[in-house]
Structure 1
């Protein structure tokens, strides 16, 4: 437990007493009392995370976040990790649950009602648990028979893996082994095209299937497979255990064909005709038939192949794997991606149902939350900040000597790309939900039937996309919690979760706090448009090499500095790997410098009286120091000790500590504000700089 200083103790007592008599609506009132309460609360939060005994020039993460893990310990709380984005997600989930349980009101649309029906059917799934296993078996029976259920009566000669997996994909959009995907064309994002790509792997990247450090997660996954076979299909425990081992071994074998993160940028999609892919993979992989069954039509256009080595490995694996195992795997993936068996615990079932409703109706929920919680003010705040960041970066591209490593013609193209870049809040206010769900009728009694209807509709609409103009990128719940750069659209998506007041922004907070948090996050995504991945896409979002040779060469030399810098860091005794994939680190560094420059310009434009609120009560730091502290506290976190090796192994981002130390140790303005002497840990002589 953290022992807070006397000031913080009194502040927390005061805030507790105030909160007891202050409703959520009252917190939004613009009164002197509420403004002071919110400012005091922000002071208390910032100071509670800090460890002022640490020299900020030695370790700014420990200085800003030294007490965070003791206040929010992942292991004691029984969660994988604690961090800002998890806090935002919890806050949004509370709003979602409240919204889904609200009585009908005049604002409610027919689509809102359907979402509520779905949620209610999930809550009632417990009542219908006696028929769950039968319904899962009936689902399998739509496409054939599963060996683990049929035993010795299963007929191998009746099973065709390609027809089965393609049939399931056609009906429900669930793909195993190999996926036929319809999405935007890399080279021309105004149209859709077909991609042949690996299945989605439940554990994620290759390292999760092969690394010694991740063996515990494979073991947990193995147990979950066994439990799923028993609970969903009623398989005997001994047989379920044996089958689970066969399925996991098969999946590990399949995963050997995945690319590593180091290979990622070199593994671009290849454009081929169907005939060319047939020649490459027939007879084991009949690509023409896979597309025909999955989409219900023959195609003559060229298609994209992702990850050739996966398809080559798949052929080898299929040849050496018993058909029984392949069949069990395909049918298991069908029920794995369908609906979990209900739990008997009401509160847990509510959480399960919120998660499931988000999975299928993420856009609807974001729109409902936006409407119910009237988030227009925060939307305008983000839009204004976005324009300031674009203007600041445009100025740098036009005239900053620090960007002279980019040739002038390429800088002009970069400016054009920046000007074309758009920002969108994921509130879906203009989205046509009526058209999207015109053929969907849900009811409040049968969850599995609701999921079947939703999946059938989604699979059909996905098939129909092939002959329709491309629509904006849709990642559903992936876009609900963190900002995302969509390179194929030259756009940025901001989640509704970030609009929640008091976490990052409030009218009463200093601009230093808002710029240090929101602006640095938005700046991070903006820089993604110009990192080692973003520079491969032009102003229209099409895949195109628009950099001249000299500028590209300079980029690679400067990127090498980041590779070496971040490869020297050690996290929980684990040396971080040197990698050429530095897009996240480049975005972290460029984003904070861009946000600070924009803040400094705003700060210098203000008359003296407007700067009085640029500090917080009883917090003895200048406005510019507060900017950097606020930035650092975005990345305060604690990861369960058992998961730290996993984080290093699979996360494209470095641990939070180095998302603070890395960018700030490269930034002269930071060292200036905290008077860090040359050669100190946070002010090294060698700095890595791109943007």
Structure 2
């Protein structure tokens, strides 16, 4: 997926990259790589279980040429319904997350067979402090109120005693950002210059809002979520801050209405704007002149960072700052103050009254959130799967070699030769990494952290202070790899400004996507397609704007760009005609995810066929590519495996949320869209031209 890692400024930082393209001879041992300890009986049992898993998800009554998603995933929703608060969506990634959580829970609750480090023990202490929150039930409200008092007074708490003259919204948010690194109303971060990733720069711009996207705040179709959000706020103000019901209702309404006004300045993701469109290298003095006296940029920067900045910095999403300036002038001070202080403590309003099992699940999530790298490293050390990694590395080389041959083929003759040659250089620079963090110095990062098993909030605040100090230290350091926390624990992702694809440990768990004795068709159809998706991101409508070093630079010639944009428009028209629930998918200029879905599937199939042909030439037994008593051949198995990555169910109330906040189309269209554009698929399933799964006017870039 084109997982755009969003920091506090929602900057696009994570995208695809390029790699070594040298041809690799077929390693026949690695191709089969059957563990010696397994008997043939064990192997047969595992392969039968995989066959049953695939078959039990399919609905063979549906003709594959009519709707391949329903054919491949027709029984998923019945077996895995999204019908409860705990299961609003179900799918492969949710299943993978649940499996991982069981392993994480065992490690966090003391695994006698695991060798814990001093930092691991701090992670465990944090988890225990979260589970022990119930012991603080009578004191927790006061702790939150004390946190607010550190930075001022909240009108909804102080009532008539609140003095508007003493309130300075900018100083308040700057002090909060300086101590805890939490961005409110305005975002500020320090990261690599996207045009020259050898230096760090300060970025100032739009802050994250809880409902995430502009559409969630402004579209009529999402009004129900805004009303639900107001009810949530009202409940939290009453339960966690002790505000009376009538005032809580008024305050919640005012906070959400203020956020709606702020949302008019948010970047519209459907417009496909680039970082060059949204970011401008400027100075504190220039921004000060532009926004003073309403937004005192100089004071904001000086208080937040604790020093005067003379180096150039980036302003991100100028329209947000302009909109903020207008709304600060027209919004009552008490509303702004209530918004700031609610936002300050909202992340820590944990439901202490939950049943023990639900509380434990919340605490696992919180621990993964604050210690994502540590938890991934612990899982890797406990469940290291080196043989699987070797398989992934081999598959990766095949994917790169396949894309190299695509770039050199007549199929892409529409790309001018100099542009194609640079694309090959970018491909050669691409790296793939398993996110094990085995080389990470956790002692350096967390050695100074003091944790307390009985004080969750103190632990969180200590973590935030430590992380904030590390962030500000970047001003005087060369750039380090982007840390995207839990996002990099969840799915393969491409960090464009580093030109690297990262694969999380969670996705290597056996028996879901991957097992050494599964048919290679299954491996390439699942993880191969996911990694291929990330590779294509290096050359999609965003990735093509970055060079082989990870710097933003337009290396495409004018004519090739024109053809590329015309082909991109084909995807925009295709996908906007798909209906999800009771509404059409929104039409978007940006098509990075759909380009990657289509190209990644094709690339994985091409790589698989290269593997198969090499195996036949090397006299490797390929009969095991056929699952026992499975009525579909090895090519069809690839496409079925690919489709079943996206089997899912979503609660009706979530469907509008998905289309408003997710740049990826819903799962069924991640199957129907790419496969209906692919002649090889139509050939294997004998789909007549014009059938839903064999479009006449196919969209294709790579």
Q: Same fold (TM over 0.5)?
A: yes
Question: Alpha-carbon deviation of 1:643?
Answer: 1.6
Secondary structure of the residue aligned to 1:35 is helix
Question: Alpha-carbon deviation of 1:577?
Answer: 2.5
Equivalent residue for 1:321, pick from 321, 331, 354: 331
**1:99–1:106: structure 2 CA closer, same or farther, 3 Å change rule?**
closer
Equivalent residue for 1:96, pick from 80, 101, 104: 104
Q: Judge conservation of contact 1:129–1:341 (CA < 8 Å) in 2.
A: no
Partner residue, 1:354: 364
Q: Judge conservation of contact 2:513–2:527 (CA < 8 Å) in 1.
A: yes
Pair 1:177 & 2:178 matched: no
Distance 2:460 2:515 in 1: 39
Distance 1:437 1:343 in 2: 31
TM-score norm. by structure 1 comes to 0.94
Pair 1:365 & 2:375 matched: yes
Question: Alpha-carbon deviation of 1:381?
Answer: 1.7
Pair 1:654 & 2:671 matched: no
Q: Judge conservation of contact 2:272–2:589 (CA < 8 Å) in 1.
A: no
**1:469–1:28: structure 2 CA closer, same or farther, 3 Å change rule?**
farther
Secondary structure of the residue aligned to 2:203 is strand
Equivalent residue for 1:431, pick from 440, 455, 475: 440
Secondary structure of the residue aligned to 1:610 is coil
Question: Alpha-carbon deviation of 1:529?
Answer: 0.5
Distance 1:211 1:669 in 2: 40
Partner residue, 1:470: 479
Distance 2:701 2:491 in 1: 24
Partner residue, 2:550: 541
Please list the CA deviations of residues 64-122 of structure 1 after superposition, one character each: whole Å capped at 9, or x if unmatched: 11111111111268522111111111111111111101245562111100000100111
Q: Judge conservation of contact 1:68–1:637 (CA < 8 Å) in 2.
A: yes
Equivalent residue for 1:479, pick from 481, 488, 499: 488
* Higher mean C-alpha deviation, range 285-294 or range 264-273: 264-273
TM-score norm. by structure 2 comes to 0.93
Q: Give the unaligned 5+ runs of structure 2.
A: 1-34
Question: Alpha-carbon deviation of 1:532?
Answer: 0.2
Equivalent residue for 1:557, pick from 562, 566, 582: 566
Secondary structure of the residue aligned to 1:470 is coil
Partner residue, 1:6: none
Partner residue, 2:320: 310
Q: Judge conservation of contact 1:132–1:341 (CA < 8 Å) in 2.
A: no
Partner residue, 1:15: none
Please list the CA deviations of residues 535-592 of structure 1 after superposition, one character each: whole Å capped at 9, or x if unmatched: 1110010011111111111101111111111122122231122221110000011001
Pair 1:133 & 2:144 matched: no
Partner residue, 1:452: 461
Q: Judge conservation of contact 2:545–2:553 (CA < 8 Å) in 1.
A: yes
Distance 2:647 2:518 in 1: 19
Q: Judge conservation of contact 2:540–2:595 (CA < 8 Å) in 1.
A: yes
Pair 1:636 & 2:647 matched: yes
Pair 1:161 & 2:169 matched: yes
Pair 1:299 & 2:284 matched: no
Partner residue, 1:410: 419
Question: Alpha-carbon deviation of 1:29?
Answer: 5.0
Please list the CA deviations of residues 173-221 of structure 1 after superposition, one character each: whole Å capped at 9, or x if unmatched: 1110001111111111122110002111111101111112211211121
Partner residue, 1:623: 634
Partner residue, 1:584: 593
Secondary structure of the residue aligned to 1:543 is coil
RMSD between superposed Cα atoms in Å: 1.5
Distance 1:511 1:174 in 2: 46
Distance 2:690 2:500 in 1: 39
Please list the CA deviations of residues 587-619 of structure 1 after superposition, one character each: whole Å capped at 9, or x if unmatched: 011001100000001101113552110011111
Q: Judge conservation of contact 2:73–2:644 (CA < 8 Å) in 1.
A: yes
Question: Alpha-carbon deviation of 1:146?
Answer: 1.1
Partner residue, 1:5: none
**1:241–1:339: structure 2 CA closer, same or farther, 3 Å change rule?**
closer
**1:208–1:475: structure 2 CA closer, same or farther, 3 Å change rule?**
same
Partner residue, 1:82: 90
List structure 1 segments (4+ residues) > 6 angstroms apart after TM superposition: none
Secondary structure of the residue aligned to 2:293 is coil
Distance 2:406 2:53 in 1: 35
Q: Judge conservation of contact 1:480–1:497 (CA < 8 Å) in 2.
A: yes
Distance 1:657 1:128 in 2: 45
Equivalent residue for 1:118, pick from 115, 126, 129: 126
Q: Judge conservation of contact 1:232–1:341 (CA < 8 Å) in 2.
A: no
Secondary structure of the residue aligned to 1:75 is coil
Distance 1:78 1:172 in 2: 31
Pair 1:378 & 2:388 matched: yes
Partner residue, 1:11: none
Pair 1:677 & 2:688 matched: yes
Partner residue, 1:509: 518
Distance 2:206 2:348 in 1: 19
Question: Alpha-carbon deviation of 1:343?
Answer: 2.7
**1:268–1:368: structure 2 CA closer, same or farther, 3 Å change rule?**
same
Q: Judge conservation of contact 1:165–1:176 (CA < 8 Å) in 2.
A: yes
Q: Judge conservation of contact 1:181–1:197 (CA < 8 Å) in 2.
A: no
Q: Give the unaligned 5+ runs of structure 1.
A: 1-26
